[in-house]
Structures are given as C-alpha cells and as structure tokens.
C-alpha cells in the first residue's frame, strides 16, 4: 500500500476543513505499488460524472486512465505504473452535462511554462535543506522588536537575462547570489517576492493564480525555488511571499467551474465573483475550500521554509460589498457588509499558523480601518502579525507631491499617521502599486526641477525610516528609477553607472537602511507608544517636523529634524527632551548623497533655553530638504515650567529653490498657543 493512499481519516479531516497536510494526499506523487514504480493521482471534483488522468503517457486520451471515486467523498484516485518525474498531465473531468474539461492539478507542484498549461510530475521531497541555523533562530528574528526592512522584488524584471534566453527570465538558482549580495549590501533584512505562485499571464504580476501549490516555472523547478530560499537564509535574509486567497482567474485550465459547477468559488455570483477584476472569489463557507487555502499557506511556510506571507487584498475579502454596487451583493445575517465567514477563516488561518509555525509572519494588505487586524483572535482580532499602513502611504505621498510653497496647508497629511501609529503593528510601504499605471516613479512624483526632486526624495525616505513601523521599498525605488516599473523589462540599473545623482541616492538609501538596523531606537519599540515622542509637529509654516525615537532603556535615543522645503536655515533652534550631549549620526547633506557636505553639527550640547514646549533646545544648521538625526541618552529633567511666549529668531540662509519658496520668511517662531493645541500630549516620559 502506498503512503499517499487516501484513508477514511483523510476524508473526514478534509470534509471538516482541518486536513492541514492534504497536499501530501491530493495531487500527483511518485509512489511504488506492489514493487512497481509510478505516480499516485488524487483530485477533488464533487460534481463530476467521471474523472480521468490524461498526459504524455496515454496520448491525452480521456477514460484511458479513469480514476476511481472514493465512496461519496467527491475525491477520485488512481495509481498509474510507469509514469515518471517530468511527465505532463491534466485531469479530464466529465461534467454532468457530458462536457469534458481539461484541468491542471489544483495541488500540482510544477506547471508548464506559459502559455502551455499542463501540470508536470515532480518531487519536492528530495531537496536537502541547509538553513538549520536560520530555522532555529526564526522565532527570535521575527519578533516585533527586531528590525525589518523589506525589499519587494519581481524576479522576472529585477534583472533580465541579457542574452534573451527563456524569454529573458533568469532562474531561481542563477539569480540567488547576485540578489543576496545586493540585499545585504543595501542593508535590507527581508526579500518579499511577488508573483511566485504559478500564473498564466505575466501582466497580472502573479496576482491571478492558477497553481497555488506550484512555484512558477518561469524561473525553474520547485526545488530551484527551494534553493533560492535556502541560499537567502544562509546569507541572513528572510523571505516573504505574496499570497492571494482573495480571488482566482477564470482561465479554462484553472480552478474555475472545476467540474462544470462552482467548486472553489461561491455559486452565487454576488458572493463568488469580482466583476471589476474579472475573477472568481473563493467560497469561504465550504470546508474543503478553506482547507485548500489553509493547507496552502502552511505548504509554503513548512515545505518551502518561507518566513512569512503577505496576504493580498484582505479588504476585498472582509467586505461583501467591496467593488460592488447596490443590488450586486448579499448582506450578512445582521444586514451588514462584513463577511463573517472570511473573518472566521482568517482567525482560524492565523491561529493555526501561530501554533504550527512559530516565528512565521502573516502580513495583511488591508486598506480600510477594520479594527484589530494585527491583534490576536483571543482579543477578537484577526490574528495577523502586521498590517500594511496604506493610510500613511496615501497621505504621505500626497504631501510629498505638493509644491513646498503649499505644503504649509497640508501639514496634517504629514502628521496624521502618528496619531494611530500604534493602533496596529504596521509596515510602512512604498510598493509596486505606487509606481505603475501612470502613477509615476517615486522620483517623478516629487515636485520641482531635477535637483529639487532628488532633495524631496531624500527627505521622503528619511522620514519613512524614522517613522514608527517596519519598512518596505519596491525594487528600483532605492536608486530613483526614472521610468515607471514594467514587468516586461529589467530595472534601469545603468543609471547607477551613468548618472551620479542615482548612485548618490542609492548611497543615501543604503546609509538609511544601515542606520535603521544599527539603532534599536528605530525598531525595538515600533509597536509601542513609548518608542515615540513629539518635539514639534506643528511647524507647517516652514514645512518642518521634529520628533524622537526612544529605546527601552532610554539610552542612544534619536532626535530627528526634517525640513521639507528648499530653504536652508543657519543657527536653527529646535526643542530637546533633556540636557546633555547630542551627537549627529546622520545628515542628508553628506557629499556621497549629493549634498554640500557643510551641514554636520557633530556633537552639540543642549541649551537651557525653552523651545517647542520643551525645557531645552538645540541650535544647528539645517540644509534644504534636510534630514538630521542626533543620538542622545535621555535623562529625565527636573520639573520646571516652560517659559511661555519665548521667541528666538533664527538667522537664515536661502538655498536654491522655487520663487514661491524664496518668498518665505526665514524666521522661525515656536511656543505659540495655536500650534500647541495640535499636539496630542505633554510629551513627558
């Protein structure tokens, strides 16, 4: 008897939605029966009249190898002797109407290269892993108080094969070393791959999946992807995959109408289709479908050693009316629009992963204010580890796209995210979605002439790294790619060698990432209010922002000051939390970043001069579009009253900029009552 043969217990668990290793039973598996080598096939097609295995081995003739139903379970099985690794196959599913559908294996581990659609017999059990140290440390590495800076990558367009082989796609194995070297050079901690699960259309970027259990054949075989994950782990790099349980395409060989009727999708189109995406929606009310998805998440985490899953389009799952007009959706039992079945599914999914995969991260791309996305199910949360901060991304980009002269009227877009920064465990994201579909590349979102664009982008990335929350940048953004991203071509790496500004921006992002990893103040209290203290968030007139990031022990804290204007200020004063020495550890004005190299204060002493509603203050020069970071040890000052109404007028130096910027006054006033009202607290520790 073969080890893959399906038992009554397997059927019982599958029908209950709790067979978390069902992928070891359904699908195609090399096996031996009565001493004969072959392949054991099994598939779930509950509405089928008959199911056959067709392939190279029987000239694709239906009923040549007809499968046997297992009682009334809807599962069909068959052992075919002589079938070998590398053979092509599909399931020929005869519907109740007598039509024959040729379907790829829902649980198959390898597919043909598109546009061909057959499944390929393979064996993922013969790869020998060598990432034992990483696996042992995973739980510690993945905790909330560790640094996490994610490099989002589309493998097919990161770097193309220069000779045009294999449609320009490089292999998992070929790209591993170069990718790891770049990630470690830059200082990222994780890679997030988009488009790894098999998909038929390049232009979907992998978000319309047909092979949930198969790494795409564009870059090699399943074991080659294992090699890539293994290699990255040995280089100290975590791996996150995009995962799409929200919808799937209607391609004829895929999951849709698998046996002629709705199997994986909900039968009611008001719940089973996303019309604006042209896709089907999974039926979260059906135990076997939920089992398919939960087991699939575990499959990537356990079989491929992936460290986390970024769950795509969670909002579309949570709301019954998402993307639908009145009359196109069905309210829940209480008349609301929340999808109760999805909520329970996500809680169950995340609970099982927490139990079985310690250290694994579940990350929600959730774009609404749905509560407690990253809180445990026992606290009535959805159980995700992190949530993408889409609100921050939207507001921040709107602010950065605004001409500096008008930014004074948009200060709330810059500061609002701080008011909810700890309501969830957030990841700040500037993802692929922000540099496609005529949204412009990051550098071309910035206002002004080219020099201003680079200055603005430096300031933007500086705030992103200092703001509470983990980080994600899409490839190309870290050297200011000029063109929008396209999956059809390689990134414009030539800019690094031919255009000094792009190399300087790359140096700048690298310095930011290494500063981030090197200063616990920037990550160990990312999800705790004690990790952040305002100095001044209300200086809209001068497009400025000042705050502190705090460590748990109050040692080596960081004070950040940001100038989002093209005006440079000399002898500029900002408030400070305490007395003592402040050592400048970062300046955006460094020569290697494209700056003047003049604005580095070194070590300065806090003065006993109240400012920004604090008892102490610092004086230093601020460059145009400047980012400055000062390291200090916090010592709680004696209680004293800040003298109200204190005014100090800074000397100014106007940098090259727009006419509107030059028309501004260089004087800075602090301590005013109207600004004080906008602060949320008294900033005490």
Secondary structure tally for the chain: helices H, strands E: 17, 29
User: How confident is the model at residue 162, as a pLDDT?
Assistant: 81
pLDDT class of 680 with cuts at 50, 70, 90: very low
At 294-346, the pLDDT tens digits run: 999 999 999 999 999 999 999 999 999 998 998 899 999 999 999 999 999 99
> 3-state DSSP call for residue 484?
coil
> 3-state DSSP call for residue 580?
coil
Q: Note whether 513 and 505 are within 8 A (CB).
A: no
Q: Note whether 183 and 565 are within 8 A (CB).
A: no
Cα separation of 506 and 496, whole Å?
8
Q: Note whether 289 and 19 are within 8 A (CB).
A: no
Question: Among 166-170, 181-185, 429-433, 672-676, which is the least confidently predicted range?
Answer: 672-676
> Phi first, then psi: what are they for 597, rounded to 5°?
80, 5
Q: Copy the structure tokens of residue 234.
A: 């040995």
**For 434-457, what is the mean pLDDT?**
94
Q: Note whether 138 and 146 are within 8 A (CB).
A: no
> 3-state DSSP call for residue 29?
strand
pLDDT above 50 (res 430): yes
At 347-366, the pLDDT tens digits run: 999 999 999 999 999 999 99
Mean confidence (pLDDT) of the chain:
91
Beta strands in 155-305 (DSSP E): 190-194, 197-198, 211-215, 238-243, 273-274, 279-280
Catalytic residue, from 10, 94, 131, 312: name it: 312
Shortest CA distance to 615 belongs to which of 635, 640, 595, 587?
Answer: 640
The angle that helices 450-466 and 500-518 make with each other, rounded to 10 degrees, is: 10
User: How confident is the model at residue 642, as a pLDDT?
Assistant: 55
Cα separation of 342 and 135, whole Å?
31
User: How confident is the model at residue 344, as a pLDDT?
Assistant: 97
Active-site residue, 365 included: yes
**For 467-494, what is the mean pLDDT?**
96
pLDDT class of 659 with cuts at 50, 70, 90: very low
pLDDT above 80 (res 645): no
Enumerate the H helices of 236-379 as residue ranges: 269-272, 287-298, 314-318, 340-356
Alpha-carbon radius of gyration of the chain = 28
**For 660-666, what is the mean pLDDT?**
32
Handedness of CA 75, 80, 85, 90 (dihedral sign): negative
pLDDT above 50 (res 650): no
pLDDT class of 167 with cuts at 50, 70, 90: confident
Measured between alpha carbons, how far apart are the two ends of the chain, in Å?
Answer: 68
Predicted model pTM = 0.91
Catalytic residue, from 10, 87, 198, 365: name it: 365
Cα separation of 460 and 475, whole Å?
16
pLDDT class of 684 with cuts at 50, 70, 90: very low
């Amino acid at each position: 008897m073969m080890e893959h043969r399906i038992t009554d217990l397997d059927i019982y668990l599958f029908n209950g939605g709790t067979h978390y290793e069902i992928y070891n039973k359904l699908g195609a598996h090399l096996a031996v029966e009565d001493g004969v080598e072959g392949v054991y096939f099994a598939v779930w097609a509950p509405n089928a009249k008959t199911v056959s295995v067709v392939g190279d081995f029987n000239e694709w003739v239906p009923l040549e190898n007809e499968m046997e139903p297992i009682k009334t379970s809807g599962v069909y099985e068959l052992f075919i002797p002589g079938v070998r690794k590398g053979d092509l196959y599909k399931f020929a599913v005869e519907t109740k109407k007598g039509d024959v559908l040729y379907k790829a294996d829902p649980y198959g581990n390898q597919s043909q290269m598109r546009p061909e659609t057959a499944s390929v017999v393979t064996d993922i059990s013969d790869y020998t892993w060598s990432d034992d140290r990483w696996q042992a440390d995973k739980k510690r590495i993945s905790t909330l108080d560790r640094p996490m800076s994610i490099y989002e990558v589309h493998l097919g367009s990161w770097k193309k094969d220069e000779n045009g082989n294999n449609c320009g796609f490089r292999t998992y194995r070929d790209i591993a070393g170069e990718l790891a070297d770049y990630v470690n050079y830059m200082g990222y901690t994780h890679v997030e791959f988009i488009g790894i699960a098999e998909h038929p259309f390049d232009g979907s970027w992998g978000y319309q999946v047909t092979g949930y259990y198969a790494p795409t054949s564009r870059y090699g075989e399943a074991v080659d992807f294992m090699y890539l994950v293994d290699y990255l782990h040995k280089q100290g790099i975590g791996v996150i995959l995009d995962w799409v349980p929200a919808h799937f395409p209607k391609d004829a060989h895929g999951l849709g109408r698998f046996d002629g009727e709705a199997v994986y999708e909900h039968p009611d189109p008001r719940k089973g289709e996303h019309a604006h995406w042209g896709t089907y929606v999974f039926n979260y009310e059906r135990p076997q479908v939920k089992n398919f998805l939960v087991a699939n998440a575990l499959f990537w985490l356990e079989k491929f050693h992936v460290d986390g899953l970024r769950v795509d389009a969670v909002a579309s799952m949570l709301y019954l009316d998402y993307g639908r007009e009145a009359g196109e959706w069905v309210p829940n039992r209480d008349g609301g629009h929340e999808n109760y079945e999805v909520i329970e599914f996500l809680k169950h999914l995340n609970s099982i992963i927490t139990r079985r995969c310690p250290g694994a991260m579940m990350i929600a791309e959730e774009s609404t204010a749905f509560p407690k996305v990253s809180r445990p199910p026992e606290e009535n949360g959805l159980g995700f580890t992190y949530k993408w901060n889409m609100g921050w991304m939207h507001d921040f980009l709107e602010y950065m796209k605004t001409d500096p002269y008008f930014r004074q009227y948009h200060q709330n877009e810059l500061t609002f995210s701080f008011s909810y920064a700890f309501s969830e465990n957030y990841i700040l994201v500037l993802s692929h979605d922000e540099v496609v579909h005529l949204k412009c590349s990051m550098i071309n979102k910035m206002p002004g002439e080219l020099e201003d664009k680079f200055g603005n982008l430096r300031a933007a990335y500086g705030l992103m790294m200092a703001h509470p929350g983990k980080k994600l940048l899409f490839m190309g953004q870290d050297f200011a790619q000029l063109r929008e991203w396209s999956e059809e071509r390689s990134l414009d790496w030539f800019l690094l060698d031919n255009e000094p500004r792009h190399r300087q921006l790359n140096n700048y992002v690298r310095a930011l990432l290494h500063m981030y990893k090197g200063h616990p103040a920037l990550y160990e209290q990312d999800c705790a209010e004690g990790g952040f203290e305002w100095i001044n968030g209300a200086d809209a007139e001068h497009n400025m922002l000042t705050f502190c990031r705090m460590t748990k022990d109050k040692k080596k804290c960081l004070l950040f000051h940001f100038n989002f204007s093209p005006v440079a200020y000399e002898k500029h004063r900002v408030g400070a939390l305490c007395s003592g020495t402040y050592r400048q550890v970062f300046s955006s004005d460094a020569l290697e970043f494209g700056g003047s190299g003049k604005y580095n204060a070194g070590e300065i002493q806090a003065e006993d001069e109240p400012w920004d509603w604090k008892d102490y203050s610092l004086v230093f020069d601020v460059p145009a579009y400047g980012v400055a970071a000062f390291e200090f040890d916090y010592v709680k000052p004696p209680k004293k009253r800040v003298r109200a109404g204190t005014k100090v007028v800074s000397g100014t130096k106007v940098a090259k900029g727009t006419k509107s910027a030059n028309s501004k006054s260089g004087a800075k006033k602090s301590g005013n009552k109207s600004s004080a009202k906008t602060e949320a607290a008294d900033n005490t520790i």
